[in-house]
Structure 1
Amino acid sequence: MGAGQRYDVIVVGMGGMGSAAAYQLARRGKRVLGLERFDIGHSMGSSHGVNRIIRLAYFEHPDYVPLLRHAYRLWRETEQAHGEQLLFITGSIDAGPRGSRVAAGSLASCIAHGLEHEELTAGELARRFPGWRLPDGYSAVYQAEGGFVASERAILAHVWLALRHGAEIRAREPVLDWSTTAEGVCVRTPQGTYHAERLVLSAGAWMGEMVPALAGKAVPERQVIGWFWPKDPELFALDRFPVGNLLTEHGHFYVFPQWGMPGFKIGLYHHFNETGAADDLPREATARDEEALRTGIRHYFPAADGPVMSLRGCLFTNTPDEHFVIDTLPGDPRVVVASPCSGHGFKFASAIGDILADLACGARPAFDLDLFKLDRLGKAA
């Protein structure tokens, strides 16, 4: 089965970026094959766990903001096309000690791009959003357009839409190898061999194994996210608690209101700094993982310090500078490389899928992608 079949584009990986690329290519009339090693919508990678933060105030780098505006537009278009809400607006908080990277970087991004925002002291933040309890000397930036994307539902929406536009999607079909030929690209799986004009590689935590130029540069890292039933649930309701990033002496936490799962959701960037091959990192959560998350809750969200509802492991895939990779392979524009996203990429999936479709069609994207060039990372480690 599958021997010798030919497509315009093959997309490897049907996670956040790959599913969006498959949809955008299919809607342009391309004959698309999407390959996924696991199930469509699985828990082995980086996109499960109900939802992911989206925010316009971007402390990581102001150059992300134009891409974010495009992502917001496309999430709304995807909602309309699929008939299901995917983007939820709660407002966003970026906070930390006054002058710290998160608070100051968010403010700089707002100023650079003319985003409406408010600067709040710790006391002002607590009075406005009582679920937040920060120490004196902390500051926060509130931006009203922040919120979250229903990440699991968004992947399914992109796959549904890709199928509706004629794409062929195959789950539980891992890629054994890929190669380029004079005629295009060739992808081999246990089920068959497929040929195409172009190839999009969007395999998340497995990118370092799939793309030699990313070996040692795309490093999988174990994460754990948790949901905790609050002592005062109303303080963490969807309309009373903004999503947020909080840099503290105990680590960098990210938080969500209650939605989709019972409880307040919290994660800790670079959880225990556990890195390794994607297949070797444990997904099971432990009491030690819970305690790391509770440390953040007890110090900064004490009204949420109730029983644990759920703990789930997932993966980040980090580059050395924690910026994305969105590029074609050096010397071969037929092969498009998508991400890794260093733990802050899902919000961009709608926009990156559109850009990947441009690159796979040989078109020039409408965005400056210099920050995401592959060759900035140097030679493989």
Structure 2
Amino acid sequence: MTNKVILGLTFMLILIVPAMSLHASAQTSYTITGAGSTFVFPLMDTWRVDYNKIHQNIQLNYQSIGSGAGIKLLEQKSVDFAASDAPLSTADQQKAPGVLTFPDSIGAITIAYNIPGMDKGLKLTGPVIAQIFMGNITSWNDPAIANLNPGATLPNQNIVVAHRSDGSGTTYAFTDYLSKVSPDWKTKVGQGKSVPWPVGTGGNGNAGVANIVKTTQYAIGYVELAYVFQNNMTYAFVQNADGNSFVEPTLDTVAADATAASANLPAADGDWSKVSIVNQPGSNSYPISTLTYVMIYQDMSTINGETQDKSTEVVNFLTWILNDGQQYSSGLLYVPLPDSLKKIGEDGLAKVTFTGGAVPEFGPIAALVLAIAIVSIIAVSAKTGLRFSAKF
């Protein structure tokens, strides 16, 4: 091969390699994967749409499959992040070491019911709710309910209890509340993402329970506030922790409950397993409120198939939901995060690393270095008389 031919090939490489590199670097579309909480899904889906309007190369694939299933996928390292209304238990932390946890929203769990002709505002106490879900109060006109609602015409109809059939952070927070207000519930049923329900019909996700209540006369169930409003459902006013008023679930009353519990929360890399905001004191505190959480590995290189560039986009997205994304909360009946909770998330995301030795992109600089190397080799070969020959 003559020096002229070699030189010609060199110039072609100088032109082609950077062009190929620029083309590759333009392929910067990423799909961020998340899974878990159905409670936060209306807000998460809004974040998905609006973030993509700003960053059209980023798609969010969020699977609304319940907190328990989302945590399992996190433990299997098959999603970029999990969302849950229940923090990681001690056992979960052992299965998923190195996970950061921080709140992304605050919401209410309503006691939704379907009594024909009766509007929202049925008054219920925590102990009465517990007895209904234990199957000890079985009729809507039971004296325990009637005494709380003088003047109301309660039907002589059996109560149809609806509960979650899947592992659920909503169930975790609801049974946390019942365990705090009812010693009977605490000893016989307890708290968890899944519990041995004494009575009732199971529905998958918040949407499943909402559908049972909405389509079944005389039903009652626990459903996140956004689902209740989206489906035009009726719901109870629940007695506060102070025992001096029955509180409607609203943004203000949920915020009051969360504010009372927001002091002394752990850092993102701390233990959140004992954190609870239910049944906080205050005349205007709605007692069945919950934080919802994002969970992400501190070292993102441990996730199956993760790349350094993608992990950066995941952190960018989660940073956005903590800040700009909070503007969408109120319209969907979630309480925007106070600054103290935002800071927990921001400090946690600042600790995210990628230590797995990601392969760097082959950019224009790398292409130029390669071209110079080729030219150098050819120059040396021309000087020494070394010839190249292709053999196949």
- TM-score norm. by structure 2 comes to 0.30
In proportion to residue count, which structure has more strand?
1
Larger Rg: 2
